């Protein structure tokens, strides 16, 4: 399969994946619609999107999208610093009060689905497709921009473009580390699990998310929200870029950065 054809297939799958992800629980112009859905029931549409992405990989026979078990010691070394984020988020969540255990369990299950679905789609299908026809860093840029753009589309559901823009910037930056984790460990599993843990702990520690129906007013200025979101994730993105730089420098182009 040529690089161009694979990119076209990947983009087509992305379009279907976005349709399933965004339209599966369509409740337009509700500011907390996404959070409500993930807290109050099983996110079947996310599961469907995950099956679409995984099924595409298997049917297409793309072996460079790997689900092999990573080397534990190497993975732990890469995750040592980023795991500080998870600890801080979890402590903040406990300090502000956790939701009922059933809600926590539902959220954990749904976030695992989100992590699996997004990693297979973006760091698996899209990145490997771009790697077939672009330089390593251009493939990273294209994947990260599309990942952020997908989160920008949340505004279609919530009606809040400012918040969606913040989510898009944060997603683009965090996506750099998720990709670095997949490339460094040669497996999607570390990225899937860390992504799920990141979303889970961050959601629990965010005001008004443990109870998304509640809202205390007090909107935060768009610029302040954007800056705080960017500054929160920027160190993670820089760490990811450092890992990618070493991977791209130390390995030959042919198979070095394949997630296989």
At residue 32 the predicted structure's pLDDT band, cuts being 50, 70 and 90, is low
Give the DSSP letter string of 148-159.
Answer: HHHHHTHHHHH-
| C-beta separation of 105 from 219 below 8 A | no
Mean pLDDT score of the chain: 85
Burial class (CB in 10 A: 0-12, 13-18, 19+), 170: buried
Using one digit for the tens of pLDDT, what is the confidence trace for 199-241?
Answer: 999 999 886 544 444 444 444 455 676 677 788 999 999 999 9
Residues 6+ apart with CB under 8 A from 77: none
- Per-residue pLDDT band for 40 (boundaries 50, 70, 90) equals low
**Count of Cβ atoms closer than 10 Å to residue 222 Cβ:** 14
**Angstrom distance (rounded) from CA 212 to CA 210:** 6
pLDDT digits (tens, 9 = 90+) for 17-27: 999 998 876 66
**Separation of alpha carbons 246 and 202, rounded Å:** 29
Domain-by-domain residue ranges, the chain?
Answer: 3-250
Spatial neighbors of 178 by CB under 8 A, at least 6 apart, are: 119, 122, 123, 191, 194, 195, 240
First-to-last C-alpha distance (Å) of the chain? 18
The CA–CA distances, whole Å, from 186 to 7, 46, 76, 92, 151 equal 21, 25, 14, 32, 26
Sign of the alpha-carbon dihedral angle for 111, 216, 171, 240 = negative
């Amino acid at each position: 399969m040529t690089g161009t054809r694979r990119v076209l297939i990947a983009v087509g799958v992305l379009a279907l994946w976005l349709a399933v992800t965004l339209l599966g629980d369509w409740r337009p112009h509700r500011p907390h619609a996404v959070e409500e859905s993930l807290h109050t029931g099983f996110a079947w549409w996310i599961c469907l999107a995950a099956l679409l992405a995984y099924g595409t990989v298997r049917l297409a026979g793309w072996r460079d999208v790997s689900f092999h078990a990573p080397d534990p010691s190497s993975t732990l070394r890469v995750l040592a610093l980023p795991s500080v984020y998870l600890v801080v988020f979890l402590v903040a969540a406990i300090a502000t009060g956790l939701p009922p255990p059933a809600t926590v369990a539902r959220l954990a299950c749904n976030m695992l689905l989100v992590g699996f679905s997004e990693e297979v789609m973006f760091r698996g299908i899209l990145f490997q497709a771009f790697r077939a026809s672009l330089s390593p860093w251009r493939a990273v840029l294209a994947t990260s921009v599309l990942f952020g753009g997908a989160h920008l589309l949340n505004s279609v559901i919530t009606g809040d473009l400012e918040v969606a823009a913040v989510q898009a910037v944060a997603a683009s930056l965090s996506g750099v580390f998720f990709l670095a984790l997949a490339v460094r460990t040669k497996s999607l599993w570390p990225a899937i699990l860390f992504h799920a843990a990141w979303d889970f702990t961050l959601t629990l520690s965010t005001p008004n998310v443990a109870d998304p129906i509640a809202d205390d007013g007090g909107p935060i200025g768009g610029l302040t929200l954007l800056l705080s979101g960017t500054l929160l994730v920027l160190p993670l993105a820089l760490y990811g870029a450092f890992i990618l730089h070493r991977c791209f420098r130390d390995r030959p182009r042919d198979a070095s950065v394949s997630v296989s």
